[in-house]
Structure formats: structure tokens, C-alpha cells
Amino acid sequence: MLGGLLFFPLPPLGWVLAIGYRSLTGVRLVEGHSPVLPGWRGNLAETLVRGLRASGIIFTYFCPFLLLYWLLGTDLRFTASHAAAFLAFLGAVAVFPPSMPALAVTYPFLFPWLHFSAPEIALLGVVFLLTFFLLPAAFVQVALEGRWAGAFHAPSYLRYLASNLPSYLEAWALSLAVSAVAVLLGPFSPWGLFWSYLVMLHAFNQSLVRWNTPEVRRRFTGCVILRPGSTPG
């Protein structure tokens, strides 16, 4: 209830707290704490810090898309007006990464000098969707290794994807479904979105458990997803 309420006064801060709460819940889930959902009292600072770190990872992963967007859209002509618009775009995305798709679509209408050909739009779409698709795989490495740097170990999460793609796609399907439900809740969508983040957390951690490698079994031994004696499918 409190998490959804935070979306109203200041959406960027509410979103950062939401993904920070998801991160803290993930730690408790993997390490087998009960109850899994942490209380807000005494955890607000850690939730905020975790949210900022997760937001930083998301922003870093989308940097290639952002760079390509501006290089293609300006045809390598970068004037003072271009710089101002670019910094405004970059600042908005840094503060609130979910604003990136809307900004990318509306900016060419606001600034006529920003234009893209059909092949460039197709290329940008592929880069954006591929980054979006890979992000959960990067974050499950954080859960597996217990440290934020794990998100940037591309060989590890690519190996996970290559040998575990069906369960990863299943987690993605569930995530898209709960996101759609959250949006359809209308005025209650902030609470729906907060709930959907926790469902996504569980879905992708479940996918990681199904990978069933020795390091996964060691990391998830006390987890509510994998109790001693159980066999992941």
C-alpha cells in the first residue's frame, strides 16, 4: 500500500523506491528470510540506495541506445541548441529511465532538426528491444553473485540465456502479463505496478533456479523457491 502511494507525489522517486524495494525483497527471497517482504521502517535508506544503484545499471545499459539515437538523429551535427536538448533528454532519462521510450518518440516532433530514416528507426528499435530483453538476465546475475557488478558480466548472463531460454521467455511472458494487468487497473495502477515488480522478481529468480547449476544450488539453498531436497525443473 505504501509503495503504490509513493508513485503519486513524485513518480521518479516512487519508481526508484519501488525497484529498490524489489531489490531488497530479492535478497530476502534468495537468502531464505521470513517474511520475504521487508518492512519499510528501518529499511527506507537501503531501499533508496538499492533503487539508485538499479537505476544506474538500467541507465548504463541503455547508453548505447541513447548515443546511437543522438548520432543518427543529428547526422553528427551538434550545435549549442542540440546540446541543450540532449542534456535535457539525458537528465530526464537519468532521473526517470521509464520516460525514455516516450521521450524518444516525442523529441522529433519537438525538434525538427532531429530526424530519422526508416532503416535508422528499425535499427534503434532493435537496439532498444534487445537491451530491454537482456536487462533481467543481467539483474539475475546480481542475485546469483550477491553483488551489483554481476550485472555487467556478459559471459555469465549470456551462458544463462543460452542454456535456459525457455524458462527465461516464460518469465518474460508472465512479466508482460502482470504489467498489462497493472496498467489496466486505472487509478489503482500505481499499486498494481508495485505488485507487478515483485511478481517479475519472483518469475526471473524462478527462471534462474531452473538453470540448476552448482552455483545456483549453493546460492538458493535456503530460498523459499528451492528448499533442501527439492529438484528444480
Whether 228 is covered by a domain: the verdict is no
Eight-state DSSP code of residue 7: T
Whether 168 is covered by a domain: the verdict is yes
Whether 225 is covered by a domain: the verdict is no
The predicted-structure confidence for 48-99, as pLDDT tens digits, reads as follows 999 999 999 999 999 999 999 988 988 767 777 778 888 899 888 888 888 8
Q: Which domain holds residue 43?
A: 2-219
Helices (H) and strands (E) in the chain, counts: 10, 0
* C-alpha to C-alpha distance for 152 and 140, rounded to whole angstroms: 11
How much is the pTM?
0.87
How confident is the model at residue 199, as a pLDDT?
95
Whether 148 is covered by a domain: the verdict is yes
Whether 211 is covered by a domain: the verdict is yes
* C-alpha to C-alpha distance for 28 and 117, rounded to whole angstroms: 47
How confident is the model at residue 230, as a pLDDT?
47
Torsion of CA 139, 160, 121, 111, to 10 degrees: 10
CA 154 to chain centre: 16
* C-alpha to C-alpha distance for 79 and 104, rounded to whole angstroms: 19
CB 78 within 8 A of CB 85: no
Whether 227 is covered by a domain: the verdict is no
How confident is the model at residue 219, as a pLDDT?
80
Q: Consecutive 10-residue runs of the chain (233 residues): their mean pLDDT?
A: 77 87 90 86 92 93 93 78 85 86 91 90 96 94 88 91 93 95 91 93 91 82 55 45
CB 92 within 8 A of CB 54: no
Whether 89 is covered by a domain: the verdict is yes
Question: What's the number of domains the chain is made of?
Answer: 1
Whether 182 is covered by a domain: the verdict is yes
